[in-house]
Each structure stands twice: as structure tokens, then as C-alpha cells.
Amino acid sequence: MSNPTYFEALKWASLFIKKHQLEEESGKFLLLERQQWRETDLLKRYQDEMPDAIFLQFKQDVQRYSEGIPAQYVIGSAPFYGRTFKVNQDVLIPRPETEELVEWILMDNQQVDDISVLDVGTGSGAIGLSVKAEQPNWQVTVTDISAEALKVAEENSNQLKLQVELLKGDLLEPVRGRTFDIIVSNPPYIAADEVRLMDQSVIDYEPKMALFAEHNGLQIYERLAEALKQKKVKTKALYLEIGFKQAKAVKQIFVEAFPLARVTVKKDMENHDRMVRVDFEGSINDENGNL
């Protein structure tokens, strides 16, 4: 018996996935990502018979996804800001809204050729490495408390041929005493009582250390504010991803810690408050606004 065509295989996958009440379009994602194809590559092959090896792998991938494993973990990679990043269960799957945080940093600093950036809690390295790829002259340092996560970031750094400094440690401790033009972080910010709102696959497979924070999800923002107030590290600007209900609370943390700073909340494409920028002119810097 001959194998199905790519079109027939995708139709089967869609129906199979639908029975498990999951995203039907994930079948196409699994195939494209596994083969490293674009949509046009698939269209050219729609009526071609699937080779044995590809068909077998595709069936296995669809089965694993239908068991609840996130598609990105099934494949071992995820797209982010135009590039492919290795991911596994030691790191969060990078989300589209985080691309908007990268974009904000790049837009704010597009006229600057040489600045230093610190990515705190880098995970797969998606933020720091994307910034470095877009601005090769910038000096980028990435940190994470997890040795396993940092290993994934290092593999992505090597794969993308991007030179960044990788340091292990908690928040700002690995760079204590240093100065950066920009600090960026997508920290754990989910409160314990928000578990009921999350997809089961996220709860089951993504690292809880990178998801949840105490004090209603605000603990890491509070710790960052305190560390910066104590001048453990100096910076001109801090960019943060936040939970869509946290804008008021996160803004208040930094307004109280740095009365002279400018705190800006930015919405994502879904019109949710999703990002915060803190400009530290005249706060943790000296009275002239200099580092």
C-alpha cells in the first residue's frame, strides 16, 4: 500500500488532532518545523506521496502532540523573531507577545550602534540572542539561575553563530557591580491562583520555575526593584514583560522605588497591557542622570 500524499496526511492529522480537542493547525506546524520548510515548500509537494521516513516521523509527532505534549517540545524547536530556537522542557516556549518586547527595545534604540544589554532569566536565549542578531555591535549578556536552561541558550548561541556572554546565577547576582545600558527580563509572573486559567500542556510540561512567582506573581519585579535600588547593578532602562492584569501593580512597584523614574506601560497587539519600561534618569543614577 502506498503512503498518503502530503495533503492527505495533513487531512488525517487534522481529524486525529480534532478528536483530542487540540489545535487542528498544529499538524501543519509539526510538518513544516520538522522538515524546516516554509509554506511554499509544502504547497509544491501537496500532491506528492510522503516518503516512508517522513510519514513515520509525522505520525509519531502527531501522536505525541495528541498526548498533550506541546508541539514545540515534540519538534524540539520554536520560531521566534524570524529565527528558530532549540527548546526542551528545561525552558519556556517563547511566545509571540515576547517578540513585541524585543521590538520595543530595538525601536527605542535603533540609532545607537554600541550599547550593552543584560537579559535576565534568559531561558532559551530568545530575547538576548534576537537582540544580538538584530544589532551585532551591541554587547549582550544573558543570565539564568538554571544550568539546564543556560545550556539550551548556549546551544542556540552556537547554532545561530551569535556571541553573547552567558552567566549562571540568580537575577542580578552574576553581574553585581556592573553597568548596562539596558536590562530586559521576561520573568516568572504567574500567580498560584491563575493555574485554572492555563492550558494543561503548559502546567504539565513547561518548567514551573520559569512560570510561577509568589506574592500574586509580583515577587521577581519586587526583587529586581530592590536590587536596582541598592545599586547592585546600574542601568539606564529596564524593559519587562508582565502578566496582562499586572500593569498597575508592577508600575506601582517601580514608581514607589524610583520616584524620579519614568514608568511606561505598553499594550501588545491583542490590546493587553503586556510590557513595562522604566527609564531611570535621575533615580538610581546620579543627580545629573548619568550612570
Instruction: Confirm whether residue 170 is marked as ligand binding.
Output: no
Q: Yes or no: say if 189 and 241 are a contact pair by the CB < 8 Å rule.
A: yes
Instruction: Confirm whether residue 288 is marked as ligand binding.
Output: no
Instruction: Confirm whether residue 144 is marked as ligand binding.
Output: yes
Instruction: Confirm whether residue 48 is marked as ligand binding.
Output: no
Q: How far is CA 269 from the centre of its chain?
A: 16
Instruction: Confirm whether residue 122 is marked as ligand binding.
Output: yes
CA distance 91 to 119: 15
Dump the DSSP string for 200-221: HHHHHHS-GGGTB-HHHHTHHH
Instruction: Confirm whether residue 188 is marked as ligand binding.
Output: yes
Tell me which H or E stretch contains 72: helix 71-75
CA distance 240 to 291: 20
Tell me which H or E stretch contains 252: helix 247-257
Instruction: Confirm whether residue 189 is marked as ligand binding.
Output: yes
Instruction: Confirm whether residue 185 is marked as ligand binding.
Output: no
Strand ranges for 102-256 from DSSP E: 116-120, 139-144, 165-168, 179-185, 234-241
Residues making up the binding site for substrate: 186-189
Residues making up the binding site: 121-125, 144, 186-189
Residues making up the binding site for S-adenosyl-L-methionine: 121-125, 144, 186
